[in-house]
Amino acid sequence: MINGLDQIFVIAKGLLLSLLWWAPAWVVQVVSAFVNIAAVLAVFLTLFALISVFERKILARIQNRYGPNRVGPFGLLQPVADGIKMLVKEDIVPRGADKVVHFLAPIAMVAPAILALGVIPYGRNMTAFSIDAGILFFFAVGSATELSVFMAGWSSNNKYSMLGAMRAIAQMVSYEMPLIVTVLPVVMIAGSLSPDRIVDAQAGYILGLIPKWFVLTPWGAAAFLLFFTASLVESNRTPFDLPEGESELVAGHMTEYSGFKYATFFMAEYFGMFAVSGMAVTLFLGGWHAPTAFLQFIPSWIWFFSKLSVLLFTFIWIRGTLPRIRIDQTMKLAWTFMLPMAFTCVIAAAVWHYAAGGILGWLESLAIVSLVYAGLSQILGARRNLSVRIYRFAE
């Protein structure tokens, strides 16, 4: 029964395909692919609707105010009202805009995010499209978002949109470097670019209590923090939401978008956040594996979405806590701190691996990460020439 609950969606798909016993093999394969696509879209469109209202409620609690509470019970139907509003809102296109590119930009933004969601293992035997180079595919399609941002800024025929697009592209390209480099240690240790095999490499427990997740190693913890920070930037989330400036009147590359096109950009950013969070769970948090051996009776897909929910809550928590930082600070953080630390994680992982992952390897990798972190902190702190701040009129 436990295995049946764990594989309930796999079994349901098998029963559905069994109805096509009369069809040729290629028809069954096409239908199977469409079932996978429909399942991924249904799950994440529902999650998008839920998080759009939960984020506003959580931020309202943080800021000691009311959130959405008028449409439906407890305001839970607010996403429906928002969707209707976006559908009926007038679609305004600037007179001098390139109308074809202006129309295609939101589509080019959301398509890579949906493709990236297809290679993430959501549970045991629950990868929509399992390919050997899934990690490479994930980052290859993810890099297409820079093109869509440029399309939106350039086609709008607006200097604010163009400058916002250039700033967004510079930020996203800069943080793709540490984002990809922090994945290298995981790929090295797992010996594969397949997300399924990376999850399998984190199976097992020490004394039945401590999971063998990569995040519980010194190099894995450092790489996870770097990956998560870079994910904030790639998702244009606070404190790195400079491309849009969500609290400002000018919305960067989306300034000249309205109605459903704007909603498509909005949805694409959330889908991107789901994708990088799911990849973080896969790479560092054991994927769908339970945190302890005696909790393995809980279905694997519940564990995956529980971990995903914690990361999404952290995204929201950070948004309600930290202020936006300047663009020069954002760029400097990427090139002077995060990229050197990412390469340090690669070296620390290699040391940990050749020490057979024992206590000695754990301590050696911890020493490498700590020394480089301390050295960079000293160098970068000295360059800033910080002085004691004195408030003349404070009591």
Average pLDDT along the chain = 87
- Is residue 194's pLDDT more than 70? yes
Task: Read off the pLDDT band of 2 (50, 70, 90).
Answer: low
pTM: 0.90
E strand or H helix at 205, and its extent?
A: strand 205-206
Q: Supply the pLDDT for residue 46.
A: 92
* Beta-bridge partners for 222: none
Contacts of 255 (CB under 8 A, 6+ apart): 156, 158, 160, 161, 164
Q: How many CB atoms lie within 10 A of CB 21?
A: 7
pLDDT in tens, 85-106: 888 888 888 888 888 998 999 9
Question: Is beta strand 205-206 parallel, antiparallel or unpaired with respect to 210-211?
Answer: antiparallel
- Is residue 246's pLDDT more than 60? no
Task: Read off the pLDDT band of 238 (50, 70, 90).
Answer: confident
Q: Supply the pLDDT for residue 393.
A: 60
Task: Read off the pLDDT band of 391 (50, 70, 90).
Answer: low
Task: Read off the pLDDT band of 322 (50, 70, 90).
Answer: confident
Contacts of 358 (CB under 8 A, 6+ apart): none
Q: Supply the pLDDT for residue 227.
A: 95
Question: What is the C-alpha separation between 261 and 321, in angstroms, rounded?
Answer: 29
Q: Supply the pLDDT for residue 74.
A: 85
- Is residue 4's pLDDT more than 80? no
Q: Supply the pLDDT for residue 394.
A: 55
Task: Read off the pLDDT band of 384 (50, 70, 90).
Answer: low
- Is residue 9's pLDDT more than 90? no
Q: Supply the pLDDT for residue 327.
A: 82
Q: Supply the pLDDT for residue 158.
A: 84
> Which has more pLDDT, 393 or 283?
283
Please check whether residue 158 is in contact with residue 254, taking contact to mean a CB–CB distance below 8 angstroms. no
pLDDT in tens, 274-315: 999 999 999 999 889 999 888 888 899 999 999 999 999 999
Share of the chain above pLDDT 70, in %: 94
Task: Read off the pLDDT band of 381 (50, 70, 90).
Answer: confident
Contacts of 393 (CB under 8 A, 6+ apart): none
